[in-house]
Structure 1
Amino acid sequence: MRAQEGDLRAFEVLARRHQAALYRLAVRVLDNRDDAEDALQDALLDAWRRIGRFRGEASFSTWMYRIVTNRCLGLLRRRGPALPVAEMAEMVEVAEAGTGIVPMPARRPSPEDAAELDAGLVALRAALADLPTQQRVCFILRELEGLGYAEIAQITGAGEQAVRGRIHRARTRLAEVMRPWR
């Protein structure tokens, strides 16, 4: 890999290729776009500094997911336990950008439907924010980023069974909290 030999242009190409997915992960974990931008920028700097230590045991994207996840977890530890619920407009903007957070209806919803959808999105965002950090990270990587259990285990440093358990508990908790919105 040319990037490992110090080729900054090669690293920039790799970073650009994965930047959108990494940013999406950071936004979902941190629930704050400014913090996500900071985490991603710091993670990319970390990756550039450590590129010589990349052994290729996992894919480059998995390695980058791990660096971004660790950055996000560090920010969450420093921030404290509570995550603010983002503004509804931002949530709808993210959903409309096709990130997979929530499917948007094809037709223009009535004001009543829009209000109900908005309230449901706020409830979902709050439910995700209330999950324990490790459950939230595993759930996001699996359900929103579409990664496999083995890859999530590599990213989080947890065993595959632990990852499966965290995702199961996250799904169960989200199903409980979102039951009134069905």
Structure 2
Amino acid sequence: MSHLEAVPATDAQLLRAHIQGDPDAFGELFRRHKDRMWAVAVRTTRDPEIAADAVQDGFISAFRRAESFRGDSQVTTWLHRIVVNACLDRMRRIRPTAELPEYDLADRHDRHASAEVRIDVQQALGEIPEAQRLALTLVDMQGLSVAETAQVLEVAEGTVKSRCARGRAALAELLRDRQGDGYGAAR
């Protein structure tokens, strides 16, 4: 495997090496993708504790089921699908108690407006249907293509486009309503 040390192995090569018994290959996949999977899990679950558990569940599942990777998508798309499914499984078990994470807003001097906007967006995301939220999270926040998102969510590309469009429209309306209220100003 000395040639893999000289030239970084692709994700697919690492997954094959893992399946063939390389004890370090999956660890490298984990190191490469843990941050991105964490980000998608936090945005999907809106709870860092649940996200951490879901990422762990997802990577354990990927480790155990590596042979199930068919190679018809990128390894990252396959990992996204596994982690999103782990998030959904965790959320279904605890619903409806999952709430938005608390933000430390004690130091709001310079970031007051941007913190309020972030909170408004996070809360608005929590109010739109789950299918729309997942599509928006993967496409707009994680930068996956519509095709990759369709593979992760196991739906047609047109469905992803539709969910994104509806989700964006719903978010725009919710945010417009919040800003129109003047953040609590008397009417």
The residue type equivalent to 1:10 in the other structure is A
CA distance in 2, matches of 1:163, 1:82: 27
CA distance in 1, matches of 2:135, 2:20: 33
Residue 65 of structure 2 aligns to a residue whose secondary structure is helix
Match of 1:129 in 2: 126
CA contact (8 A) 2:41 2:87 kept: yes
TM-score norm. by structure 1 comes to 0.82
Match of 1:145 in 2: 142
Per-residue deviation, residues 50-106 of structure 1 (Å, max 9, x unmatched): 00121211111000000000011112222224641222228x9xxxxxxxxxxxxxx
TM-score norm. by structure 2 comes to 0.80
Q: 1:136-175 to 2 correspondence within 5 Å?
A: 136-175=133-172
Range with greater deviation from structure 2 (72-81 or 121-130): 72-81
CA distance in 2, matches of 1:174, 1:158: 22
Which of 93, 110, 135 is the aligned partner of 1:78? 93
Match of 2:70 in 1: 55
Identical residues among aligned pairs (%): 34
CA contact (8 A) 1:30 1:72 kept: yes
CA contact (8 A) 1:5 1:52 kept: no
Structure 1 residues without counterparts, runs of 5 or longer: 93-108
Instruction: Give the superposition deviation at 1:114.
Output: 3.8
Match of 2:33 in 1: 18
CA distance in 2, matches of 1:138, 1:159: 12
CA distance in 2, matches of 1:38, 1:8: 23
Per-residue deviation, residues 29-62 of structure 1 (Å, max 9, x unmatched): 1111111110001111100110012121111100
Quickly say closer, same or farther: Cα 1:82–1:173, change in 2 above 3 A. farther
Residue 146 of structure 1 aligns to a residue whose secondary structure is coil
Match of 1:181 in 2: 179
Which of 98, 104, 112 is the aligned partner of 1:89? 104
* Structure holding more helix per residue: 1
Range with greater deviation from structure 2 (133-142 or 2-11): 2-11
Per-residue deviation, residues 83-142 of structure 1 (Å, max 9, x unmatched): 41222228x9xxxxxxxxxxxxxxxx8x4x743333322221110111211111110000
CA distance in 2, matches of 1:114, 1:48: 41
Higher relative contact order (CA 8 A, sep 6+): 1
CA distance in 2, matches of 1:154, 1:139: 14
Provide the alpha-carbon RMSD of the alignment. Answer: 2.0
CA distance in 2, matches of 1:169, 1:65: 22
CA distance in 2, matches of 1:134, 1:29: 10
CA contact (8 A) 1:120 1:181 kept: no
Which of 5, 23, 29 is the aligned partner of 2:44? 29
